[in-house]
A and B are shown apart, each in its own frame.
Chain A
């Protein structure tokens, strides 16, 4: 049965009326009209749906909305806007680190959590952190360069 739940997304309390076992991904996309997190597999295999929950990169396709009430949720929309870009977003543009771009939300959100743990990660550390984020276009090396660029700017 649908319940009235309150979740905190990008700093705002948002009330939604859904079943608590609904995957967070559909609540973000369909109830809150946030496009950043993408449906890729629904199986936590590809990373396209990654959001930040209390500082941890989390797969929103297998995270129920009921389990995250009271925890701060940050989506890529919460990082920055086209006018006021987050250093990671700025770096992805500077490196032109996208082809189709469908996976990029997951890359940026996973990188955000990495940079909060490790200020200046080595290239192997970046590659290891993104090992479970799939990219099909072959943009991997640009993504790594973008994260290195952002890390330098943020450090």
Chain B
């Protein structure tokens, strides 16, 4: 096994040898463009990644428009919002637009669908490509109708002059190759005031199929001759297979292949239930050499602090004042958290005539192709990856890993006969034990108040392993199965995600204006458990820490938490969401909890550059029943210009509810050797009776850029809950999850 948990420490010295700059993340492509010599003028959004107009938009003679995006639908409504944008700029009805999402053979390469960037990057590309395509068609129409372009109007693809009866449509004008040209990015998209589709709550295009049993997910893909696969994963990270009794599994009907390659074991059967039963039998017949490679869960914070790390000072300004009146210090922490998709990860793979086709719910089909090529030892031209939706992922779950598993099984099938597609869905325990978790983190803050009760000095440090082990990075492969093969493809050394977005240091910089501050990010290369991107990355723990501590400081200064924040915050958009949330929730300055009920506030501008959210949470703590519940959350949101208010609300509310679950309940269980979380019985999430009421105010900013909102509410919500618990009971809990036991312990 050459995965990160066993090798993280050993590899740490090689970091600079392989080092920074070799990383290809979602930003990699952009930076590559930036480095190109004599680069042409930069185009807006991801139009710069693929500069051909016809890579994004195709006008069809049959009255439809095909729109291509390298981004994918993750249940966040991306397909609908992108179709809205394209239809708006082209002046066609939404129903004419067919959206093709990430497919290595058909769409632009837009890296990953992550970081709440779909609207900003793909949306911007479509906005400019749509405007330019419309202009090209108008110019053709002007010639045909003998009317200058300025006097033409378009209604659902039909072009006319205001004062003439003659019309001509896009579908009449289009001819092959019309948009086969480089975009100029010079045609201005419509101003917001003229929008009729963008900004409206159109219904999601994918929901009717999802409520009627239509084909909606890769799990639903059914191909002729399709086989079913399952994987027998080791009992613990790094375990080595020493013996395997295949005989009991082979007695089952329809077993097509049993794959054993190093410590990778899989099975392919004609029927799914037989593949599952074969997995059970192979598990029983497998012997493994295991070792203790995991940290002591009872000493997790100490273990994280003790890992070798490179400290980098990411902000240093002012000098600490000589005289302060009060100094406070605190440590906060987050455990390992699972993405915990409801549907375990799934892929379908086929190897035919030397070429693979893989259907995957990966967030990045192009980076996945790069890693699959490495592990399968074939050229990228022999791999086509087609995105199909999976269950909601909230970041990097098992999607990419199961794609490699399926491809390895498809290869084994093709080795003994004609290639046949293999569908492989992980079992529940595969997902819980092998998905890359959102990493545990530790933060420490020390701050001083001056004699006016204002923060005079702020010192923040964060310790975090990586937040991205996504495919596509250089120097190896992060795909799970590759580490266990007889000829393993080792994991590369993880590299941090650079600011301003950041990874472990995402939102580590305070949004408040302090006269003196120092912020240090300790990037730890080793991963005590295998981890990757989980919705919000480091911002969940950083905002939880900063915003909890702001309340602790407000209390020390005798200030109201909302007023205390406003007193330190200049950004007008930040102030506006705080004020809007306080007003909507009827926040009373200095309001006090009654021992069991109380309220708290949390605020952030996601990534310090995106959507603003302020949220006020109300909790009910029942010490007799040993429960803590969030009763209500009231949020104010500024995501710039709103594309779809219903979709935006859904994303913000989803983030609030998921963060409530993370913050109150969730932690991966493990001992020194094994991951002990196998099923929902070992990993409780928030259930219907526990879900808070959610009230959201949207502050529309029609003249500001549209910003992504999928992740913006989780950090503020985590802090609001901690602050509400403190407000209700006096108990300050600084280590998530905020359980009744910890509240009781804090109260002594």
Binding site for B on A (CB under 8 A): 2, 18-19, 22-23, 26, 29-30, 33-36, 38-43, 45-46, 48, 75-77, 79-82, 85, 89, 92-93, 96, 98-105, 108, 124, 126-128, 130-144
5 A-B pairs with least C-beta separation: A100-B75, A138-B657, A36-B213, A100-B392, A101-B210
**A2 contacts across to B, CB distance below 8 A:** 253
Q: How near does chain B come to A96, taking the closest CB pair, in angstroms?
A: 5
Instruction: Report yes or no: B679 in contact with A45, Cβ–Cβ below 8 A.
Output: yes
Give 20 CB contacts A-B under 8 Å: A26-B271, A30-B222, A33-B222, A35-B213, A43-B680, A46-B342, A93-B207, A99-B76, A99-B392, A100-B391, A102-B391, A127-B689, A131-B688, A134-B680, A138-B654, A138-B656, A139-B650, A140-B686, A140-B691, A141-B653
Instruction: Report yes or no: B392 in contact with A77, Cβ–Cβ below 8 A.
Output: no
Please give me the residue from chain A that is nearest to B361 by CB atom.
Answer: A100
Instruction: Report yes or no: B680 in contact with A141, Cβ–Cβ below 8 A.
Output: no
Decide if B389 is an interface residue (CB 8 Å cutoff).
yes
Please give me the residue from chain B that is nearest to A140 by CB atom.
Answer: B691
Q: How near does chain A come to B273, taking the closest CB pair, in angstroms?
A: 5
Instruction: Report yes or no: B681 in contact with A140, Cβ–Cβ below 8 A.
Output: no
Decide if B118 is an interface residue (CB 8 Å cutoff).
no
When A and B form their complex, what is the total count of cross-chain residue pairs whose Cβ atoms lie within 8 Å?
181
A108 to B211, CA, bound (A): 8
**A26 contacts across to B, CB distance below 8 A:** 271-273
A135 to B686, CA, bound (A): 8
Interface digits, B61-99 against A, CB 8 Å rule (1 contact, 0 not)? 000000000000011110000000000000000000000
Please give me the residue from chain B that is nearest to A27 by CB atom.
Answer: B273
A81 to B214, CA, bound (A): 9
Q: A42-B428, A93-B211, A96-B207 are in contact. List 12 more A-B contacts (CB 8 A).
A: A30-B228, A39-B343, A75-B213, A82-B209, A93-B208, A99-B77, A99-B650, A100-B393, A101-B207, A133-B688, A140-B686, A143-B688
A39 to B391, CA, bound (A): 11
Most buried by B among A80, A98, A128: A98
Q: Known contacts being A26-B273, A40-B343, A137-B392, is A92 close to B211, with CB within 8 Å?
A: yes
**A128 contacts across to B, CB distance below 8 A:** 688-689
Please provide the chain B residues from 641 to 657 with a CB less than 8 Å away from any CB of chain A in the complex. 646-647, 650-651, 653-657
**A29 contacts across to B, CB distance below 8 A:** 272
Instruction: Report yes or no: A30 in contact with B211, Cβ–Cβ below 8 A.
Output: no
Please give me the residue from chain B that is nearest to A45 by CB atom.
Answer: B680
A104 to B394, CA, bound (A): 17
Interface digits, B175-190 against A, CB 8 Å rule (1 contact, 0 not)? 0000000000000000
Q: Which of B201, B222, B657, B679 contacts A41 (CB 8 A)?
A: B679
Q: Which of B427, B651, B687 contacts A134 (CB 8 A)?
A: B687
Decide if B206 is an interface residue (CB 8 Å cutoff).
yes
